[in-house]
Structure 1
């Protein structure tokens, strides 16, 4: 932000600076873009991961990460963006607010329901997300885990590496038990392949390998 103060009266106004990074947009995912040759993580928004799966209200799996990325690409791919850098993240990406024409990219993406306001890093898009939520716009029309929770649970072996093989083959004091999505203990069950636990693509495959169905 550029801070300008009057020499006569102590009045300061913060104005956005959109000149730190500029260039044509290439969409990586719904919250990460290349602006020219610079990798940019859009400030204060968080989108589903590319491999994240959501569900429709009827329980049908939906590749929401891929879908959200496609929506952002349709809207901004190839457009000229001007960005104001706010930080650099742990991956070396520039964290910035970006503008295409007179459109704030982050605001547009959140208000269309293609990503969520990332309140941990700023409240600037809080009302835009709430508006999208009320209207069931975009991702808000589906059953979706927050991207932050998805990343956390995936890191603990709770999210399948293959979205089509989601059955958890757990080994406990009760033996070899498999859990299917929707069961009470499914979400809290983590898979440790070093212990011989594994993922299955169907109940039949799990039973054939010696696992039995969980009661809940």
Structure 2
């Protein structure tokens, strides 16, 4: 993204109707938004409470979806990330979306980048809300473990490095890295990913290829909804 475009984004509030994503990212009018200063559990992450596992990542995604999807959203940009998503503080009506997610135990304060939501996290922790009702692994640690578990490429200029994303060319899904998750922008302009075995996987044209669902979500895609 050019410096000029980044400055224009940062200087202009973003208004529009929210569309689905995961626990800390979504879309507004086709623009990919990453909630600044917070970090939600990965979509397929589980947490522990009352002696059992629960789908905390899905719960976070569903909560954010209820809050923003189909609603008038206002976002103020704080920059962009490495995936060209807009980092932003967002509101729906009088609700501070970033703070809501943290205060309800559906995300943590992302202290690496901001201390804005530390007080909201402490409130959730004291009340044992959401992920604080039991035990969990920090989302950043889940992503790091996922990256570390991937096989390294054995030769060529990528030797010794994982291959999380492969930009597509012809037959991108038939790559040499064993990465088979297809990212595609649908006719509504939504960024969707498909995993092998899904009904439309074979007919989906891959615009990006990912090695894990975590990578696809980090790049701003959401899982295809299968009825």
TM-score calculated relative to the size of structure 2? 0.59
Structure 1: unaligned runs, 5 residues or longer: 1-16, 159-216
Partner residue in 1 for 2:55: 63
Partner residue in 1 for 2:103: 111
CA distance in 2, matches of 1:80, 1:18: 20
What does 1:1-216 correspond to in 2, within 5 Å? 19-58=12-51, 60-157=52-149
SS of aligned partner of 1:22: strand
Q: What is the CA-CA distance between 1:54 and the residue it aligns to?
A: 1.4
- Checking the alignment, whether the CA contact within 8 Å between 1:113 and 1:137 is kept in structure 2 is yes
Higher radius of gyration, 1 or 2: 1
Aligned residues: 142
CA distance in 1, matches of 2:35, 2:124: 19
- Checking the alignment, whether the CA contact within 8 Å between 1:21 and 1:38 is kept in structure 2 is no
CA distance in 1, matches of 2:119, 2:48: 25
**Higher RCO, 1 or 2 (CA under 8 Å, sep at least 6)?**
2
- Mark the CA change 1:144 to 1:82 in structure 2 (over 3 Å): closer, same or farther: same
CA distance in 1, matches of 2:20, 2:71: 10
Query: Moved runs in structure 1, 4+ residues, more than 3 A?
Result: none
Structure 2: unaligned runs, 5 residues or longer: 1-9, 151-227
TM-score calculated relative to the size of structure 1? 0.62
